[in-house]
């Protein structure tokens, strides 16, 4: 067996759900799922985010005489938005009007930072940490 056939895809789509757990579709059209395309745990982009998160923890400990410290919720949410925006490739079949003309990382970060849509950022964070979502052949599904 060629073990490389088991390599995970670099990116995968994450199908967004409503706050009640229903899958979201653009205007109810099931051929247009509302998805976020993200880099996964086997990608260089994801590795950079993990490195940045570790650096934050170490800096906080150094700033607090080597003791762990809790991150205030506002700061934690801002960091999560920054991290998720760095591993997001695209949005599919949905818009985020509050971001105005922003594109790319700025658009993604605005979306993830919206506290009223925080459950969606949590969905993406949870999904991106599951290697199974990036199984061979998962990209583009």
Determine the distance from the C-alpha atom of residue 120 to the mean position of all C-alpha atoms in its chain, rounded to a whole number.
9
Contact (CB, 8 A) for 48 and 85: no
CA 140/CA 46 separation, integer angstroms: 18
Residue 24's alpha-carbon distances to 18, 40, 47, 51, 57, in angstroms, are 6, 21, 29, 32, 35
Q: What is the pLDDT of residue 101?
A: 96
Query: Could you report the per-residue pLDDT of 43-78, keeping only the tens digit for each?
Result: 999 999 998 888 888 887 787 777 777 778 888 899
Q: Which of 42, 22, 125 is nearest to 76 (CA)?
A: 125
CA 140/CA 9 separation, integer angstroms: 10
Listed in sequence order, the residues at least 6 apart from 68 whose beta carbon sits closer than 8 Å to its beta carbon are 57, 60, 61
Q: What is the pLDDT of residue 24?
A: 97
3-class secondary-structure state, position 64: coil
Q: What is the pLDDT of residue 54?
A: 83
Q: pTM of the predicted model, to two decimals?
A: 0.85
pLDDT range class, residue 139, cuts 50, 70, 90: very low
Rounded to 5°, angle at Cα 73 from 59 and 11: 75
Of 2-11, 104-113, 132-141, the one with minimum mean pLDDT is 132-141
Query: Could you report the per-residue pLDDT of 79-94, keeping only the tens digit for each?
Result: 999 999 999 999 999 9
Q: What is the pLDDT of residue 120?
A: 97
Q: What is the pLDDT of residue 94?
A: 97
pLDDT range class, residue 140, cuts 50, 70, 90: very low
Q: What is the pLDDT of residue 132?
A: 94
Mean pLDDT over each residue of the chain, to the nearest integer: 91
């Amino acid at each position: 067996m060629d073990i490389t056939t088991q390599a995970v895809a670099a990116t995968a789509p994450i199908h967004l759900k409503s706050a009640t757990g229903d899958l979201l579709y653009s205007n109810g059209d099931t051929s247009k799922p509302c998805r976020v395309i993200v880099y996964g745990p086997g990608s260089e982009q994801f590795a950079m985010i993990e490195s940045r998160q570790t650096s934050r923890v170490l800096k906080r400990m150094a700033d607090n005489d080597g003791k762990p410290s809790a991150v205030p919720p506002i700061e934690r949410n801002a960091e999560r938005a920054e991290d998720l925006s760095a591993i997001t490739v695209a949005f599919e079949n949905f818009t985020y009007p509050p971001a105005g003309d922003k594109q790319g990382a700025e658009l993604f970060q605005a979306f993830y930072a919206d506290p009223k849509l925080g459950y969606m950022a949590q969905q993406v964070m949870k999904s991106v940490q599951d290697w199974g979502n990036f199984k061979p052949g998962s990209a583009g599904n």
